[in-house]
Amino acid sequence: MSIVVTGATGHLGRLVVEQLLEKVPADQVTAVVRTPEKAADLAGRGVRLAVADYNAPETFDGLFSAGDKVLLVSGSEVDKDRVQQHKVVIDAAGAAGVALLAYTSAPGTLRAALADDHRGTEQALLASGLPYTLLRNGWYHENYTEQLAPVLEHGAVVQAAGDGRVSSAARADYAAAAVAVLTGEGHENATYELGGDEAWSFADFAAELSRQTGRDIAYRPVSVEEYQGILAGAGLPGPLAAVLAGVDASIAKGELVVTSGDLTRLTGRPATPLAEAIAVALKG
């Protein structure tokens, strides 16, 4: 039996593997990667590497074994058929008879286009008959704290979210929730709505940036259309700009507020506060 993590060199997947290594022997962890060179450090610590690609179904043949616990980290290629990509993994896991397939999904309240592929994947997973866990991850602090350069340059947080609030948490928090499921018991056929402990608005975000930098950082709300244009003007592909602007529209409607408490219950600790993530980003 192995704990198998797909997308293991991505931001979230790597954190999951790192945290797994704190709890289980390395030879019980399999990291699924497209580029093994990027995971050389993990291999050096005793993690088994499996080279496979969501776009090449044959690469998953024989990758899983009966009894494995699998974390399917959702694909990040928004220009691909992500549901079909994910079904490649689900089908291979079903053929092997894995003990559990956990999937990193999106909040059940999210209606933005970003959620469509997640809902399609959830349907495919439920239809497979596999024991499953839906990890409906909320938004990441890092979606904003890793993009501070233009904010600091212009002295403004520009978003199309109005007064909407976000229950974000750190990637490491969501990784810890996945590890709790993969190393624990009793998570079969469970759905967890995951988000931070405190929802915040972009006015709050600007105020916290102002406090920590000693500068006057304002929140400048714009329309969804204007925000999409700003993102496209900054070099984002049109489809991705539309998706991200759509998320802001959902934030304005309260669709990224998560009140379940599931994240804290799974990890056994409070979620990382936004202020802490900002402090780390500013130091970096």
Query: Which domains, ranges and CATH numbers included, belong to the chain?
Result: 3-137+171-194+259-271 (3.40.50.720)
Query: Nearest Cα to 274, choosing from 168, 202, 179?
Result: 168
CB 70 within 8 A of CB 101: yes
Q: What is the token pair recorded at 156?
A: 């403004």
Q: What is the token pair recorded at 229?
A: 């244009």
CB 101 within 8 A of CB 125: yes
pLDDT in tens, the chain (284 residues): 899 999 999 999 999 999 999 999 999 999 999 999 999 999 999 999 999 999 999 999 999 999 999 999 998 777 678 999 999 999 999 999 999 999 999 999 999 988 999 999 999 999 999 999 999 999 999 999 999 999 999 999 999 999 999 999 999 999 999 999 999 999 999 999 999 999 999 999 999 999 999 999 999 999 999 999 999 999 999 988 999 999 999 999 999 999 999 999 999 999 999 999 999 999 98
CB 99 within 8 A of CB 68: yes
Q: Is 138 left (phi over 0), alpha (psi -120 to 50) or beta?
A: beta
Q: What is the token pair recorded at 176?
A: 């810890």
Total residues belonging to the chain: 284
Residue 171, burial from CB neighbour count under 10 angstroms (0-12, 13-18, 19+): buried
- Under 8 Å CB-to-CB from 131, ≥6 apart: which residues? 98, 99, 100, 101, 188, 189
